[in-house]
């Protein structure tokens, strides 16, 4: 299957770009909703708050990065966009939480940024390995 301007079939991942975009949108909407639930309405879980922040932003960033990659953003532009959007979204998320009787916490923002940075590093490293191919070696 080829589209306008494509001289070859899209990659396997490219065929799934709409699904990845939908997953990204759903994950971001879910994270936004979950981070604004009043504390009294939260279920009791036995995972540390900062662990949730790191893991949550790892997933959000990974999906965002993958979406950007599948839609053709080049490496430097993709990394720059991730480095701009993720900390800004994390800050906005923290700053709006007091409206829902939650506490804005700079340490939560730092955990968010750490999760995002880790996801960006993992994604770019995986992309570099994938570009080299399995036979090129280290």
DSSP secondary structure, 71-108, as one string: TT--HHHHHHHHHHHHHHHHHHHHHHGGGGT----HHH
Answer whether residue 134 is part of any domain: no
Residues with Cβ within 8 Å of 138's Cβ and at least 6 positions away in sequence, in order, are: none
Q: Does the pLDDT at position 132 exceed 90?
A: no
pLDDT at position 35 is 86
58 CB-contact burial (10 Å; exposed 0-12 / middle 13-18 / buried 19+): buried
Place of tokens 């662990």: 51
pLDDT of 138 over the 50 cut: no
Average the pLDDT over 113-125 and give the result. Answer: 97
Query: How many domains in the chain?
Result: 1
Does the residue 2 lie in any domain? no
Write the pLDDT tens digit of every residue in 65-87.
999 998 889 999 999 999 999 99
As a whole number, the mean pLDDT across the chain is 86
Better-predicted residue by pLDDT, 96 or 6: 96
The answer to whether residue 3 sits within a structural domain is: no
Largest Cα–Cα separation, the chain = 56
Is residue 90 domain-resident? yes
CB contact at 8 A, 116 and 54? no
> What are the pLDDT digits (tens) for 30-63?
999 888 888 777 778 877 889 999 999 999 999 9
pLDDT for 111 equals 97
Q: Which of 35, 32, 25, 29 has the alpha carbon at shortest distance from 108?
A: 35
Q: What is the pTM of this model?
A: 0.82
Nearest Cα residue to 89 out of 30, 28, 33, 36: 28
By residue range, what is the domain housing residue 31? 12-37+48-129
């Amino acid at each position: 299957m080829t589209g306008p301007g494509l001289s070859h079939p899209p990659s396997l991942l490219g065929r799934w770009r709409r699904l990845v975009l939908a997953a990204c949108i759903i994950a971001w909407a879910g994270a936004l909703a979950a981070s604004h639930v009043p504390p009294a309405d939260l279920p009791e879980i036995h995972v540390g708050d900062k662990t949730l922040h790191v893991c949550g932003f790892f997933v959000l960033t990974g999906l965002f990065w993958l979406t950007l990659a599948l839609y053709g953003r080049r490496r430097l532009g993709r990394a720059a966009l991730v480095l701009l959007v993720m900390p800004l979204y994390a800050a906005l998320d923290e700053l709006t939480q007091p409206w829902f009787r939650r506490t804005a916490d700079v340490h939560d923002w730092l955990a968010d940024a750490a999760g995002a940075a880790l996801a960006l590093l993992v994604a770019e490293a995986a992309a570099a390995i994938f570009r080299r191919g399995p036979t090129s070696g280290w």
